[in-house]
Chains A and B, each alone.
Chain A
Amino acid sequence: MLNGLINDLAFYFDVGGYVMPPLFASAFILWFAIGFRFAELRRGSVRSVRQLISRHAKGQRHAPRGLIDTAVVLGLEIRRREPPDLRRWLDDAFADYESATKRFHTLILSIVAVAPVLGLLGTVNGMIETFDSLGDMSLFAQSGGIAGGISQALFTTQMGLAVAIPGLVVGGLLDRKALRLRQELAQVKDLLCAPQHDETAS
């Protein structure tokens, strides 16, 4: 099973030419980044931001599990110290969370953009191989040849798309999640800066 998989991979490497190592590497980095981002973008509790703040303010606390949870705990702590300009302090404190929601965003986008182009490069290489073989009459022989060239051409395009499409889909989902988290952080700031009596009333 594992042996067969390794053989398959070796075959793909062999067929695709020099485009394959970068493609495999970018697929690996892409999925690493996606996994990292997925772990980073955990919201924590499923409750709404208002509920979270009122519960924590009343002292019903448990260990924070995700990004919004921790942000609420930290924000309440800052408010308790009553600094002169609360919103600026919250801006400062939440900047780390906001940069966390942006981490690897560009990398994922870049890899998704580059992988099909890498596939295209492999395709062009395959076409060159094919036409060269047509030119010097080595139709089926030796290494490559017409069939080899066409196989490389199709295979690398396929590989490039196989890397890019899941990255595009999952990356898009994660981006949407990150946007929602940033909006909720802004909501936490607004709620914490709002006059005290509104919150106790709720």
Chain B
Amino acid sequence: MNRALNSLLLALLLAALVTPVLAQDETAESDTETPVEATSAEPVATTPPAQAETPSLEQAYQREFAFLQGQKRDLERRLMELRSRIDRERGGLQAEIRGLEAEVVDMRGQADRLDTLVFESERAVETARDNTDLLASTFLQADFTLGDAYAPSHGDAAPGTEDVAALFDAAADVLRDHSSVTRSDGEFFLAEGTRVSGQIIRVGQIAAYGISPQGQGALAPAGDGELKLWPEAGSAEVATALAAGQRPDSLAIFAYESLANEVETRDDKSVIDVIRDGGLIGWIIVWLGVIGVLLIVLRVFFLQRASASTGRIIDSVSAHVKRGDRDAALAVLKKKSGSTSRVVASAIRNLDRDRDHLEDIVSESILHESSHLNRFGAVILVIAAVSPLLGLLGTVTGMISTFDVITEFGTGDPKLLSGGISIALVTTQLGLIVAIPLLLLGNVLSGWAERIKDDMEKAALRVINQYLEARHEKASGAA
């Protein structure tokens, strides 16, 4: 724009130079006037009458120039104003932004703090709820276990400090109560079932002693909170000592869990009772056992007779045998009893036969004797093997009948189930009691019988050897 203005000015000057003659004085005038009159068109307006006749191009330019000059100045001024205003406003706004940013940071920090607070308070609420539950269950438990000694008074409301204190007081009372020996008047049953009144000494909640003119001693639960006299040896002395306020050395006691269920006296069963529990199979086992014992006795008797000492028989015979005096040897043997002497006698009787025949005869007579020696051995072992199986059979039968009863009456009464099983087991017990001695003795007696057979063989062999040696020596001596 300035450039355009300058070029315009240049063009005007050129035009003025082209016409120097035209207005020598006026150029001087316009030269001095232009800066003054540029702002207004007044000189233009004042001059028209003087120059109306000559509205030259130069004047129009000058007027236009002055006008534009004014315009330019005006615009520059407004530009300056605008620029300064913008600068002012920008500074203000930037300050405002900085202020707002600081505020945001501040707010954010505050929000974080508030979040933490919320979290902490949630946790506190959680803990408080847990504690409330715990407290409630504690009270429930106390109500249940402390029984009559404590009744919660806070209802559905949360328990307060005084409620807790009351609870602990009640619990301490109960503990003191349960750990002390108290005396009171009351009633209990005697062993035969009559109800007597007397003094009852309670050891906490686990045992009691009763003292009455009719009888005294340890008490046991009789069901429904009642007590009955328990036949515990030495408990009567303890009861009287406790009643007299003394402290006995040992405490014959019946410790119980609660008074709700009756405890039954376990009567000592006699052997016959036990066997009767076993039923038919029990009796069969017992009779088998009796038969087995009888057979063992018989077998011991047989073996005892059969087993004369081998050494003694040979000593008594060998002198006669070496002399070849068979009749004397047989006479000596006749006086002795026992399988060995019979085998030796049969060997002596046949001493003249040749060796193979002689050995056949000896082994035959050993076989003959061994039928005696083995008598009942197998039967005893069979009884020993069968009786535990019979016992098992009885147990299974007993179990079946027990479960039959249970299907009929249900499992409400544990007595039914366990009593039935206990009785069912009796036959197994009987079977084992019969089997063990029979097994042991039967085996040992079999071993004895084997040894006797070995002895017989040995004795016969020795007698034959002695006889043959003597004959050999005689023959070699004669030669």
* Chain B CB within 8 A of A76 CB: no
Q: How many angstroms between the C-alpha atoms of A125 and B355 in the bound complex?
A: 60
Q: How many angstroms between the C-alpha atoms of A85 and B388 in the bound complex?
A: 52
- Interface segment, one of A57-65, A127-135, A184-192: A127-135
* Chain B CB within 8 A of A42 CB: no
Main secondary structure, interface of B, reads helix
Which residues of A lie under 8 Å from residue B261 when comparing CB positions? Answer: 137
Please tell me if the beta carbons of A92 and B461 are within 8 angstroms of each other in the complex. Answer: yes
* Given contact pairs A91-B461, A131-B421, A131-B422, A124 touches B428 in the complex (Cβ within 8 A): yes
Q: How far is the CB of B265 from the nearest CB of chain A, in Å? A: 8
Which residues of A139-160 have CB atoms within 8 Å of chain B's CB atoms? 139-142
* Chain A CB within 8 A of B288 CB: no
* Chain B CB within 8 A of A113 CB: yes
Please tell me if the beta carbons of B418 and A114 are within 8 angstroms of each other in the complex. Answer: no
Interface bin, chain B? 35 or more
Which residues of B392-449 have CB atoms within 8 Å of chain A's CB atoms? 414-415, 417-419, 421-422, 425-426, 428-429, 432-433, 435-436, 439-440, 443-444, 446-447
Which residues of A lie under 8 Å from residue B7 when comparing CB positions? Answer: none
Candidate in A22, A83, A114, A120 with the most chain B CB atoms within 10 angstroms: A114
In the complex, which of the residues A83, A84, A113, A132 contacts B439, with contact meaning CB atoms closer than 8 Å? A113
Candidate in A118, A135, A142 with the most chain B CB atoms within 10 angstroms: A135
* Chain B CB within 8 A of A109 CB: yes
Please tell me if the beta carbons of A117 and B451 are within 8 angstroms of each other in the complex. Answer: no
Please tell me if the beta carbons of B458 and A95 are within 8 angstroms of each other in the complex. Answer: yes
* Given contact pairs A95-B458, A124-B428, A137-B262, A132 touches B436 in the complex (Cβ within 8 A): no
Contact with B along A97-112 (1 / 0, CB 8 A): 0110010011101110
Q: How many angstroms between the C-alpha atoms of A120 and B429 in the bound complex?
A: 9
* Chain A CB within 8 A of B468 CB: yes
- The residues of B with any CB-CB pair to A shorter than 8 Å are 254-257, 261-264, 266, 355, 388, 414-415, 417-419, 421-422, 425-426, 428-429, 432-433, 435-436, 439-440, 443-444, 446-447, 450-451, 454-455, 457-458, 461-462, 464-465, 468-469, 472
- The residues of A with any CB-CB pair to B shorter than 8 Å are 22, 83-85, 88-89, 91-92, 95, 98-99, 102, 105-107, 109-111, 113-114, 117-118, 120-121, 124-125, 127-128, 131-132, 134-142
Beyond A22-B436, A99-B458, A110-B440, 4 extra complex contacts between A and B, CB < 8 Å: A83-B468, A88-B355, A99-B454, A117-B439
